[in-house]
């Protein structure tokens, strides 16, 4: 195996830097001088800005893992183990995992072998089908999901391409652990859209309507959910990043690396009143439905002009309380993680610490609670939810202080 391997990091298909793997499995990221010198350069990540808004250009090497921004591009947990085995790559060697998966990453980023080799050193005998299977799992996260192309006039017919790249939809398959997860997420996202939140196009589809599901994913029951990718347009990809990347936290720190107060602070600094209001709507809504999984990777920003961040459309909204009876949120709000302790005073405290306009935060909270009561009451029996889920959300919401104006 060569002593040094290099990956070319491209943003909007333009080379902006390199990831270099050196003996001892250490990886170093460096921006290209052309990117550093460009005045109106496209933004890769807010994590590469210093306190004065200037580009950071000196980074320490990372052992075994990739630097945090790049580590967050990779799948996690059982999904990572599955694809690493199929690709013939050690799941802990993130540099070589990214080598295999870097063609269809979130946002406008792609990663390519620096010398043009198709496979990592020592993997020349890897069968073509193994490489293709790995590429199909190139989306970050723990859930089994794929990029897919639309076949017809709606999401009902989707094809997962042979190498998993280029699709403008995400197919999220049923959970093998919990029943009804796609129906739950579809329903909560639908309610959020009806309440006025920014939600991508989505649909529930039968597994039979999906062409190209790979072998070896196990027995699945129920429909899948299809979500239109907000980072893909007819004019090309739009760059995005999640808040684990923004805060420089590794995926295993997504539940502890920061708080909703910290997320609000970034939104306050980098965006405007409309995004602050949308942030509070989503925070209040997920508190009311009992979503205990709104961790750092479930909040993102997007760069429509390539440089200026705004809050990305919503994703991964579902009620977790029917599956896990715990009202502790994924992150601390300002002083508490307990949803039952989220009062108007707690949100006022969050506003003060994150430097958000207090009146805006409290007004949006009241409006969101009122709108939730209207929409949930009108729609809950029309949604593809079991009675147990509806009852769990009803009972949870009634116990939330903000639901009762406190």
Least confident of 25-29, 170-174, 313-317: 170-174
Answer yes or no: is pLDDT of 215 > 80.
no
- Residue 157 corresponds to which tokens in the numbers above? 């017919």
Answer yes or no: is pLDDT of 134 > 80.
no
Q: 261 and 334 in contact (C-beta within 8 Å)?
A: yes
The pLDDT assigned to 136 comes to: 44
Tell me the pLDDT tens digit for each residue of 18-27: 999 998 889 9
Q: How would you class 97 by CB atoms within 10 Å of its CB: exposed for 0-12, middle for 13-18, buried for 19 or more?
A: buried
User: How many CB atoms sit inside 10 A of residue 112's CB?
Assistant: 17
- Using CA atoms, how far residue 230 sits from 76, 161, 302, 312, 377, in Å, is 22, 19, 9, 8, 29
Q: Kindly report the CATH class assigned to 239-404.
A: mainly alpha
Distance CA 162, CA 364 (A): 45
Nearest-10 crossing angle of helices 387-398, 358-379: 150
Distance CA 119, CA 103 (A): 13
Q: 10 and 112 in contact (C-beta within 8 Å)?
A: yes
- Residue 169 corresponds to which tokens in the numbers above? 């939809």
Kindly state the percentage of the chain with pLDDT values over 90: 68
Tell me the pLDDT tens digit for each residue of 267-276: 999 999 999 9
Map out the domains of the chain as residue ranges. Answer: 5-113, 145-233, 239-404
Tell me the pLDDT tens digit for each residue of 172-188: 888 878 889 999 999 99
Q: Catalytic residue at 293?
A: yes
Distance CA 367, CA 281 (A): 9
The pLDDT assigned to 149 comes to: 75
Work out the pLDDT band at 135, boundaries 50, 70, 90.
very low
- Using CA atoms, how far residue 302 sits from 40, 68, 128, 228, 231, in Å, is 17, 18, 34, 15, 8
Answer yes or no: is pLDDT of 123 > 60.
no
Q: How many CA atoms lie within 13 A of 91 on its CB side?
A: 12
Q: What one-character-per-residue DSSP string does 106-136 give?
A: STTEEEEETT--SS-TT-TT--HHHHHHHHT
Distance CA 368, CA 102 (A): 39
Higher pLDDT, 250 or 159: 250
Its pTM stands at 0.91
| Catalytic hit among 231, 293, 316, 327 | 293
Tell me the pLDDT tens digit for each residue of 335-392: 999 999 999 999 999 999 999 999 999 999 999 999 999 999 999 999 999 999 999 9
Tell me the pLDDT tens digit for each residue of 153-165: 444 577 766 555 6
Tell me the pLDDT tens digit for each residue of 51-62: 898 999 999 999
Q: CB neighbours of 376 closer than 8 A, spacing ≥ 6?
A: 191, 393, 397
Q: At 299, which helix (H) or strand (E)?
A: none
Mean pLDDT, range 114-140, rounded to an integer: 53
The pLDDT assigned to 156 comes to: 53
Work out the pLDDT band at 257, boundaries 50, 70, 90.
confident
Q: 330 and 321 in contact (C-beta within 8 Å)?
A: no
Q: What one-character-per-residue DSSP string does 70-97 give?
A: HHTTSB-HHHHHHHHHHHT--TT-HHHH
Answer yes or no: is pLDDT of 109 > 90.
yes
- Residue 299 corresponds to which tokens in the numbers above? 């909040």
Q: 309 and 301 in contact (C-beta within 8 Å)?
A: yes
With helix as H, strand as E and coil as C, how does 350-396 read?
A: HHHHHCCCHHHHHHHHHHHHHHHHHHHHHHHHHCCCCHHHHHHHHHH
The pLDDT assigned to 316 comes to: 95
Distance CA 331, CA 354 (A): 15
The pLDDT assigned to 163 comes to: 54
């Amino acid at each position: 195996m060569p002593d040094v391997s290099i990956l070319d990091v491209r943003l909007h298909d333009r080379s902006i830097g390199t990831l270099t793997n050196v003996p001892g499995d250490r990886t170093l990221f460096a921006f290209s001088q052309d990117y550093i010198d460009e005045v109106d350069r496209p933004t890769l990540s807010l994590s590469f800005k210093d306190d004065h808004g200037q580009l950071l250009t000196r980074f320490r090497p990372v052992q075994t893992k990739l630097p945090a921004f790049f580590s967050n591009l990779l799948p996690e947990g059982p999904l990572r183990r599955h694809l690493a085995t199929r690709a013939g790559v050690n799941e802990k060697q993130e540099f070589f995992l990214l080598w295999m998966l870097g063609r269809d990453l979130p946002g406008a980023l792609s990663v390519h072998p620096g010398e043009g080799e198709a496979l990592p050193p020592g993997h020349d005998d890897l069968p073509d089908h193994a490489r293709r299977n790995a590429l199909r799992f190139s989306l970050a996260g723990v859930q089994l999901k794929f990029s897919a192309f639309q076949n017809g006039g709606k999401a009902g017919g989707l094809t997962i391409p042979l190498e998993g790249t280029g699709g403008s939809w995400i197919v999220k398959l049923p959970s093998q652990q919990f029943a009804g997860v796609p129906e739950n997420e579809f329903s909560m996202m639908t309610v959020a859209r009806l309440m006025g939140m920014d939600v991508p196009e989505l649909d529930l589809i039968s597994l039979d309507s999906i062409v190209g599901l790979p072998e070896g994913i196990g027995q699945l029951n129920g429909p899948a959910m299809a979500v239109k990718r907000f980072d893909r347009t007819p004019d090309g990809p739009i760059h995005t990043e999640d808040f684990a990347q923004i805060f420089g936290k590794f995926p295993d720190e997504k539940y502890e690396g920061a708080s909703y107060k910290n997320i609000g602070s970034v939104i306050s600094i980098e965006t405007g009143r409309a995004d602050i209001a949308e942030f509070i709507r989503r925070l209040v809504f997920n508190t009311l439905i009992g979503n205990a999984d709104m961790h750092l990777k479930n909040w993102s920003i997007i760069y429509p002009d390539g440089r200026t961040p705004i809050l990305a459309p919503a994703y991964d909204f579902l009620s977790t309380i029917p599956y896990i009876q715990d009202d502790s949120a994924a992150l601390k709000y300002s002083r508490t993680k307990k949803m039952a302790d989220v009062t108007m005073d707690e949100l006022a405290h969050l506003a003060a610490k994150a430097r958000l306009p207090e009146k805006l935060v409290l007004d949006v909270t009241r409006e969101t609670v009122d709108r939730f009561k209207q929409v949930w009451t009108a729609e809950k029996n029309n949604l593809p939810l079991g009675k147990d889920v509806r009852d769990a959300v009803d009972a949870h919401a009634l116990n939330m202080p903000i639901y009762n104006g406190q």
